[in-house]
């Protein structure tokens, strides 16, 4: 957060920094936002949190009876290092849904918001055993790895298509 982008509670039409205004214009121009991020500690990385704090600002994203973002849709695509079989994935998705959809998007007037958690984002499969140890498996190599990456890309696109439909 910078002083220039601090909310001014007495002025909801405050002109924020040029950088932030450019991001606001990009959001206003879109009907559907897709926010892709690596999941850090069952949450967003600090960089994404800072983007929300600065860009989804007072007078733009909230603080008006007629919200600027009303009617838009947002899909949050969270990439998870956990494997699909890991029981942490479902509660992690619930946490992100509460934080991002309920706590932020609906508060800002979005018509639709959802979180898609995509596990197996790491080349090496990762899980935590019953003793709490991180277990890191072998990554495939060569064409097998390239094919794994292509399959992951298809999963992302399928999540976007399903949300947009």
Ligand X SMILES: Cc1cc2nc3c(=O)[nH]c(=O)nc-3n(C[C@H](O)[C@H](O)[C@H](O)COP(=O)(O)O)c2cc1C
Binding site for ligand X (CB under 6 A): 38-42, 79-82, 121-122
DSSP β-ladder status, 126-128 and 134-136: antiparallel
Residue 88 CB, nearest approach to ligand X (Å): 7
- Measure the CA–CA gap between 164 and 159, rounded to whole angstroms: 9
Phi/psi at 29 (5° precision): -75, -10
Toward ligand X, which CB reaches closer, 81 or 125? 81
Toward ligand X, which CB reaches closer, 40 or 58? 40
Is the separation of the CB atoms in 162 and 115 below 8 Å? no
Residue 150 CB, nearest approach to ligand X (Å): 15
Residue 85 CB, nearest approach to ligand X (Å): 12
Toward ligand X, which CB reaches closer, 108 or 118? 118
Residues 6+ apart with CB under 8 A from 90: none
Toward ligand X, which CB reaches closer, 61 or 80? 80
Residue nearest to ligand X (CB): 81
Q: Is 147 helix (H, G, I), strand (E, B) or coil?
A: helix
Residue 75 CB, nearest approach to ligand X (Å): 16
Residue 41 CB, nearest approach to ligand X (Å): 5
Toward ligand X, which CB reaches closer, 40 or 62? 40
CB-neighbour burial class of residue 142 (10 A; exposed 0-12, middle 13-18, buried 19+): exposed
Instruction: For residue 115, give the nearest of 37, 48, 47 by alpha carbon.
Output: 37
């Amino acid at each position: 957060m910078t002083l220039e982008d601090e909310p001014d509670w007495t002025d909801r039409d405050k002109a924020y920094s040029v950088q932030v205004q450019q991001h606001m214009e990009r959001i206003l121009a879109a009907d559907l936002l897709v926010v892709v991020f690596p999941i850090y500690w069952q949450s967003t990385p600090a960089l994404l949190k800072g983007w929300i704090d600065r860009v989804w600002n007072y007078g733009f994203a909230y603080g008006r009876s007629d919200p600027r973002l009303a009617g838009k849709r947002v899909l949050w695509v969270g990439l998870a290092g956990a494997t699909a079989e890991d029981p942490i994935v479902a509660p992690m998705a619930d946490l992100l849904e509460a934080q991002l959809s309920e706590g932020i998007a609906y508060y800002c007037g979005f018509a639709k918001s959802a979180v898609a958690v995509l596990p197996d984002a790491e080349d090496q499969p990762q899980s935590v055993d019953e003793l709490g140890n991180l277990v890191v498996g072998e990554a495939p190599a060569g064409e097998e790895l390239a094919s794994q990456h292509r399959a992951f890309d298809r999963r992302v696109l399928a999540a976007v298509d399903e949300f947009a439909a």
